[in-house]
Amino acid sequence: MTSLWLLLIGLAMLLGGYLLYSKFLAQRIYQLDAGFPTPAHELGDGVDFVPTNKFVLWGHHFTSVAGAAPIVGPAVAVIWGWLPAFLWVTLGTVFFAGMHDLGSLWASARNRGRSMGMLSGRYIGARGRNLFLVVIFLLLLMVVAAFAVVITNLLISTPSSVIPAWGAIAVAVVVGQMIYRWRINLLATTVIGVTALYSLILVGDRYPIELSDPVLGMSPATFWILALFLYAGIASLLPVWVLLQPRDYINGVQLFIGLGLLYGAVLLSTPDIVAPAINRSVPEGTPNLVPLLFVTIACGAISGFHGMVSSGTSSKQLDKETDARFVGYFGAVGEGLLALGAILATTAGYATLAEWEAVYTAFNQGGVTAFVQGGGSILNAGLGISTSLSATILATMAVLFAATTMDTGVRLQRFVVQEAGEVLGMRIGKLAATGIVLVVALGLTFSAGAGGEGGMRIWPLFGTTNQLLASLTLSIVAVMLIRKRRNPWPALVPLAFVLVMSFYAAIVQLGTLRDDSDWLLLGIDVVIMLATVWVSVEAVLAMLDARRSPAEPDDADRTDAVDAIRGA
């Protein structure tokens, strides 16, 4: 089958979802109100609460939720064949991810920008809130520690990405000044920023930086990990407009340019998909497609981490509530487009089936490397871009998205620590909360060696934990909709499907961890499963109670959500 058909069908489904289904959700289900006072205006502090142009906010939201996961997940999952991955990415994005991301953004904006963990206290109960915060903290810990290692490995394996990866920080700072201080037109700012970023890619390809061993008495891996955590800690404390917003915005634009190049190369070269639609000869040891497909591809179909970003940073920057449709739903569509690109690169980027099978010799053998190799081959064939420059473009894309997710993850985890302090009656400052996050994450990252092996140790639990969190987030959205006497089924259907599949996957994972005698991860998996069951039961009871209670008017959203949460 030619990759052209897969590209056109995928684009039609994803863009059709935004034009049609998101409009239905915005008008009929969430009933977005342009006159509702958003947290960015009501609580504006110039640091975390900042009214933001919807295109800039979309860039922050999209790149924060994307990271490397919508590349890694599909690039691994095609081992079962391209058709299951394609269907889950397209249908999951349209009916699951878009609904989830828009819903969590709306729910938080209606409650003064509070996180989903704290909202669970208002809508589900105090016990559910405490367990919810535990699951969120563990998920963010996985993201921060693992992405530091992923970025480090890319910087080492593709030294041509070092200059553009770190140079993008300087570009972002200048872009932030251009937007907020110098008030330069957004289009002109975008052109200047993107031009500077791609110039850095050309420089990086010409002058790769490969660190010697040792560096200041450390291995290159240790040095890069410490540098990344230092950057993430500083970035999480700065006002969002200084670095976080402009960095994410420029990264979002460059991603669409990168995807445009990849999609354009597919249109021009129309490579055949060499991977089977359904792979009936998977390597020995490959787990069953059901339920593992639905947790292997999380970001790119539906992801609980998105709810953390929506309610942790994006809701605090929403200028108008009606902007949530573009920021939240189209942010999910952007990630679906990236996942679609990953599927094309890893199934049509190889010359023969034998060459593809030589890469996919075992489960988890795909990933970023397969994406860079396959995508580079397509760019070379379709646009004549050299193999070296193609690899630099794609590797830089992966590094920048992983980095934006990492620094957003540190900021979100800081919020969680501060919110947990509120629950315990303690006031934890930003510096102290950030210090706690960095110490715990660094401790995990280096727990198995100076190369950061510990950062990947907990990663096998990410997929199931992430999807379980998505279902719990949807339960809060469903309770809110029932309270307002609106149709909850667009939330309940994906909630039920994701909860069943992810819990099934967690049970399967228990057996694997037991066979591997990994008692630490097995214990964490059990804690997460028990917390999920408990919160789910509390959520069902909350939904039943909401059906019996009088309808909640929209004016109730204007009450002080902080007091409501503390009194839960």
Of 307, 287, 288, the residue nearest 467 (C-alpha): 307
Domains delineated in the chain: 3-208+215-269+288-566 (1.20.1740)
Residues in Cβ contact with 205 at an 8 Å cutoff, skipping those fewer than 6 apart: 160, 388, 389, 392
Cβ atoms of 455 and 483 within 8 Å: the answer is: no
Specify the pLDDT at position 453.
78
> Is 184 strand, coil or helix?
coil
What is the pTM (predicted TM-score) of this model?
A: 0.86
Structure-block tokens of residue 534: 């408990």
Cα-Cα-Cα-Cα dihedral sign, residues 303, 307, 313, 316: positive
The continuous run of DSSP H or E covering 148 comes out as helix 126-157
pLDDT tens by residue, 365-420: 777 778 888 888 898 888 888 888 888 888 888 788 788 888 888 988 888 898 88
- Render the burial of 494-525: b for 16+ CB within 10 Å, e for the rest: bbebbbebbbbbbebbbeebeeeeeeebbebb
Can you read off the two tokens belonging to residue 295? 């947790």
pLDDT reported for residue 555:
57
**Which residue stretches of the chain have pLDDT < 50?**
560-568
What is the residue type of 139? L
Through-space distance between the first and last CA atoms of the chain, rounded to whole angstroms: 56
Nearest to 149 by CA among 367, 442, 426: 442
Cα gap 348→172, rounded to integer Å:
34
Residue whose tokens read 């953004």: 105
CB atoms within 10 A of CB 206: 12
Q: Give the 3-state secondary structure of residue 215.
A: strand
Structure tokens at 120: 């669970």
124-149 pLDDT, tens per residue?
A: 888 778 777 888 888 888 888 888 88
Angle between helices 304-312 and 54-66 (to 10 degrees): 140
Q: How far is 209 from 222, CA to CA, in rounded Å?
A: 16
Beta carbons of 250 and 168 less than 8 angstroms apart: yes
Task: Report CA Rg, the chain.
Answer: 22
- Record the tokens describing residue 25, joined without a space: 């959700």
**Distance in angstroms (rounded) separating the CA atoms of residues 444 and 167:** 28
Could you tell me if 240 and 44 are in contact, meaning their C-beta atoms sit under 8 angstroms apart?
Answer: no
Comparing CA positions, the residue from 377, 258, 252, 260 lying closest to residue 7 is 260
Q: Which two tokens stand for residue 427?
A: 């006031």
With a CB cutoff of 8 Å and minimum separation 6, the contacts of 520 are none
Per the CB < 8 A criterion, the answer to whether 455 and 148 are in contact is yes
Residues 456 and 259: their CA atoms lie apart, in Å, by 28
Residue 2, classed as helix, strand or coil, is strand
pLDDT at residue number 258: 82
DSSP state of 21: I
Contact 245, 52 (CB under 8 A): yes
3-state secondary structure 313-371: CHHHHECCHHHHHHHHHHHHHHHHHHHHHHHHHHHHCCCCHHHHHHHCCCCCCCCHHHH
Can you give the pLDDT at residue 562? 41
Rounded Cα gap, residues 543 and 547, in angstroms: 6
Decide if 301 contacts 467 (C-beta within 8 A): no
**SS3 call for 36:** coil
> According to the model, what pLDDT value does residue 554 have?
66
